[in-house]
Amino acid sequence: MPPKRKNTGFEQYTIIAILVVSFAVFIFGKACYISLVDGKAWRKIGERQIRPNVRIVASRGNIYSENNELMATTESQYRLYIDFWAEGISQDTLKKYIRPLSIELNKLFPQKSAKQYENHIMNGWYQRMQETGQIKANKKNVKKNREYRLLDHEVNYLEWKKIKRMPYFEKGRNKSGLYYKERVKRTKPYGSLASRTIGDIYPEFGKGGKSGLECYYDSLLKGQAGLSTRRKVNGRFIDIIDEKPVHGMDIISTININIQDITERALLNKLKETDAESGTAVVMEVTTGEIKAIANMGRIREDVWDEIQNYAVSDLSEPGSTFKVVSMMVAMENGRVHPEDPVDTGNGVAEIAGQILKDHNANRGGYGMITAEKSIRYSSNIGVARLIMKAYGNEPEKYVDGIYKTGFHKEMHLEIPGYGVPQIRHPKDKDSHFWSKTTLPWMSFGYETKIPPIYTLAFFNAIANNGKLIKPIFVREIQENGRIIEKKKTQVINEQICSPSTLAAIRQMLDDVVNCPDGTGKPARSDKVRISGKTGTAQLSHGAAGYKAAGLSHQVSFCGYFPSEKPKYSCIVVIRKPRNGAPSGGLMCGTVFKEIAEEVYAQNSIHKETIFPVDTIHPTMPVLKNGKSECTLQVLKNLNIDHPENKKKSEWLTANLEDNKLILNDRKINAGQVPNVKGMGAKDAIFALESAGLRVNLCGKGSVVTQSVSPGTTVIKGQTVALQLK
């Protein structure tokens, strides 16, 4: 028998090599086949799993008041659905939990009973049973319930958190079918306050600003969209960010919430009292041109007024008697009229340029012979018209040139889209054929011109500002993550609208209008703050029917400044078509002006401190919120409260009170991590979170007690953090 042959290692490796090569050849062949034969079909399938260049809309910036109170912000809302075709959904489980679930929904949203919620949810389930043929149904009414609305309305983040913890829903999307679609809504925490000036955005997501500051600064507020690639993984699409979005900048407006509230309340009360069609009130800071308050109220139905149009900047109407101040300034500056010049107003009725002109006191016999300065005090149409006719009757272009020289007719390029520009005609204009013999006298007391209220305010503000005409501004700063990008500066239109001597005479006239016993602005006189200004009453034209139509309507106004001796604020009040009471700029608008001036002055006055006995029972240390070190230490310094030195000088700190002693500790906020904002006020909490690239939802007031995203976790840019304040 021949000897048994031994297997060598070489033979074994040869077999393995043959198998590996065969397998590789098979794989290569299969790959070639797939690539050449089935490749096109597979590539199409692959393309369906990837969606490139998906737009990521950036978070829109916020709009704040001058003292950083939130006036417009973006809030996430959640629309809830149940997918009754979810893989893990079970009829037995649903029926087991439907009653406790409905009870919890009723507790959170009591507008429906628990039974109604139960019926609504089960109706969705029965629709699925109809679709699958488990129960009979009319096929025309059957639809696949992948988007069955749970609620009729959207919910906020905190409500969504509570809902997904309810019985049955806590099992997750696959077993309960519950899911949401996020919607972004622009909200105004202060409601109608300065609403038309703040503006609105289009309802379509990401379309941008529609009106007001939202429109004018849209390019800054909306930021820059990012891009992502959407891939399907394990049956779900996930977004892979290719280009991060640049979130919008914040706008710090000039609006002062307290002054805005005072202004809107005073105007609205007068509109109700006079049953007027609409009204406007604007408060402007004299030296800076910053608009501190702007209210525009129009009647939307009987006994209800709201912000429906920005009349202050867009309304082109004849200003009436406030324009007499412009005429008097021009004539005095040209040396053609002096304050003591006599003018005969007769019995209050006169024929000028072939037309009958009346003073408001014609039924009481008129003013007779008065001086030029008294024609302003008494608001005499006849007096001003005769003075201007005497001075410029043969060369009316000199009069209009004098108005143009002040500069207030120029377009000011306001930050509110849709603003109007004064229409002041010149005898040498192309349409000069419209200039008639009555144009000059009627223009002198505020007709035949059209001027938006804010331009009239700018002119009176120049009188208060020692002759310097400046542009009204609505925005103070532009910020990015709390850092100032641009600080708005006061823009001067005309350094000096008239000589100091003319200005002094005009200021005295405006003081007399209010503070002399026989002035038409007497209703605006105050014992608390000295007011200067001018009344205005204009009859409104009725289209083709002109001023002679039945049912006369008027626009009344008062424009001025306070305190007279050292003006801090200028203000204009305009009321249109009052239905109760005789139209009067003094009685209607002057009283509104007075109320605004007194309340604003009271808030800005420093009164002598009253000495009270020392309280030895209650703690003397104020309760401090956690927040910015610099602000906290400044408050403590101003109140002369002893406090431990903040040696580390960190940006944030916590404040605690122990045995009536203040203890300050550093609070470190690390870059890239969610800040701990518990114990902070709303302002500091929003600043800290938005500086980290997060979005904020607020609920309640006071100090932050809970935050939805745990402190110290990694920041996800654009993520929303819900804060509960108490």
pTM tops 0.85, yes or no: no
Q: Which of 432, 493, 449, 438 is nearest to 468 (CA)?
A: 493
Tokens 């005898």, residue located: 427
Report whether pLDDT(402) > 50: yes
Average predicted confidence (pLDDT) for the chain? 85
Report whether pLDDT(546) > 70: no
Tokens 């003397």, residue located: 620
Residue 550: what pLDDT? 42
Rounded Cα gap, residues 76 and 691, in angstroms = 19
Residue 144: what pLDDT? 58
Q: Do the Cβ atoms of 274 and 579 come closer than 8 Å? A: yes
Rounded Cα gap, residues 116 and 119, in angstroms = 5
Strand, coil or helix: 484: strand
DSSP 97-139: HHHHHHHHHHHH-TTS-HHHHHHHHHHHHHHHHHHTTSS---G
Distances (CA, A) of 328 to 338, 339, 344, 391, 628: 9, 9, 16, 11, 53
Cα dihedral 224, 225, 226, 231 in deg (nearest 10): 180
Mean pLDDT over 32-49 rounds to 65
Distances (CA, A) of 381 to 343, 356, 358, 466, 666: 11, 11, 7, 27, 69
Report whether pLDDT(393) > 80: yes
Report the residue count for the chain: 726
Of residues 193 and 285, more confidently modeled: 285
Rounded Cα gap, residues 599 and 605, in angstroms = 10
CB 716: neighbour CB atoms within 10 A? 11
Rounded Cα gap, residues 667 and 650, in angstroms = 7
Rounded Cα gap, residues 696 and 675, in angstroms = 12
Mean pLDDT over 117-135 rounds to 79
Q: In the numeric block, which tokens belong to residue 349? A: 């009725």
Of residues 696 and 460, more confidently modeled: 460
Tokens 């009346």, residue located: 358
Q: What is the pLDDT of residues 308-354, one digit of tens each?
A: 899 999 999 999 999 999 999 999 999 999 999 999 999 999 999 88
CA angle 179, 183, 184 (to 5 degrees): 150
Q: What is the pLDDT of residues 196-225, one digit of tens each?
A: 899 988 877 667 888 999 999 999 998 887
Mean pLDDT over 470-484 rounds to 93
Please, which pLDDT band fits residue 30 given cuts at 50, 70 and 90? Answer: confident
Q: In the numeric block, which tokens belong to residue 549? A: 């139509």
Q: Which of 56-65, 242-251, 517-526, 603-612 is predicted least confidently? A: 603-612
Residue 651: what pLDDT? 75
Rounded Cα gap, residues 534 and 518, in angstroms = 13
Please, which pLDDT band fits residue 233 given cuts at 50, 70 and 90? Answer: low
Q: Which of 275, 210, 282, 214 is nearest to 593 (CA)?
A: 282
Q: Which of 670, 391, 479, 424 is nearest to 63 (CA)?
A: 479
Cα dihedral 95, 96, 99, 102 in deg (nearest 10): -70
Q: In the numeric block, which tokens belong to residue 529? A: 């703050």
Looking at residue 61, what DSSP letter applies?
P
Q: In the numeric block, which tokens belong to residue 678? A: 């518990």
Report whether pLDDT(609) > 50: no
Q: What's the burial of 106, exposed, middle or buried (CB within 10 Å: 0-12/13-18/19+)?
A: middle
CA angle 73, 676, 634 (to 5 degrees): 80
Rounded Cα gap, residues 170 and 108, in angstroms = 16
What is the residue type of 240? I
Rounded Cα gap, residues 338 and 556, in angstroms = 28
Rounded Cα gap, residues 639 and 636, in angstroms = 5
Q: In the numeric block, which tokens belong to residue 600? A: 């604003």
Rounded Cα gap, residues 558 and 537, in angstroms = 9
Q: Which of 79-93, 233-247, 599-613 is predicted least confidently? A: 599-613
DSSP 173-189: HHHH-EEEEEEEEEE-T
Q: Do the Cβ atoms of 226 and 58 come closer than 8 Å? A: yes
Distances (CA, A) of 444 to 80, 320, 578: 64, 9, 25
Residue 40 backbone phi and psi in degrees, to 5: -60, -40
Report whether pLDDT(259) > 90: yes
CB 129: neighbour CB atoms within 10 A? 14
Residue 700: what pLDDT? 74
User: In the CATH hierarchy, which fold is given to the domain comprising 257-604?
Assistant: Beta-lactamase (3.40.710)
Distances (CA, A) of 265 to 195, 238, 296, 297: 14, 51, 11, 10
Rounded Cα gap, residues 376 and 378, in angstroms = 5
**Helix residue spans in 3-79 (DSSP H):** 9-33, 39-48
Q: Report CA Rg, the chain.
A: 36
Strand, coil or helix: 317: strand
Distances (CA, A) of 190 to 72, 215, 724: 8, 19, 18
Tokens 């379509």, residue located: 204
Please, which pLDDT band fits residue 247 given cuts at 50, 70 and 90? Answer: confident
Looking at residue 516, what DSSP letter applies?
S
Largest CA-CA distance found in the chain, in angstroms, rounded: 158
CA angle 693, 697, 699 (to 5 degrees): 150
Burial track 620-635 (b if 16+ CB lie within 10 A, e otherwise): ebeebbbbbbeebbee
Of residues 372 and 691, more confidently modeled: 372
Residue 553 backbone phi and psi in degrees, to 5: -130, 155
Tokens 């304050």, residue located: 339
Percent of the chain's residues with pLDDT above 90: 49
Please, which pLDDT band fits residue 141 given cuts at 50, 70 and 90? Answer: very low
Report whether pLDDT(448) > 80: yes
CA angle 207, 213, 217 (to 5 degrees): 65
Q: Which of 261, 361, 345 is nearest to 584 (CA)?
A: 361
Q: In the numeric block, which tokens belong to residue 355? A: 């037309």
Is the preceding omega at residue 2 within 30 degrees of 0, hence cis? no
504: left (phi over 0), alpha (psi -120 to 50) or beta: alpha
Q: Which CATH architecture has domain 627-725?
A: 2-Layer Sandwich (3.30)
What number of H helices and E strands is found in the chain? Answer: 21, 30
**Helix residue spans in 352-452 (DSSP H):** 372-377, 381-392, 396-406, 439-444
Report whether pLDDT(424) > 50: yes
Report whether pLDDT(136) > 60: no
Pairing of strands 304-306, 532-539: unpaired
Q: What is the pLDDT of residues 345-378, one digit of tens each?
A: 999 999 998 899 999 899 999 999 999 999 999 9
Residue 545: what pLDDT? 47
Residue 174 neighbours by CB under 8 Å, 6+ apart: 86, 87, 88, 89
Rounded Cα gap, residues 191 and 321, in angstroms = 34
Rounded Cα gap, residues 321 and 510, in angstroms = 12
**Sheet order of strands, 304-306 included:** 304-306, 291-301, 278-285, 569-576, 554-562, 532-539
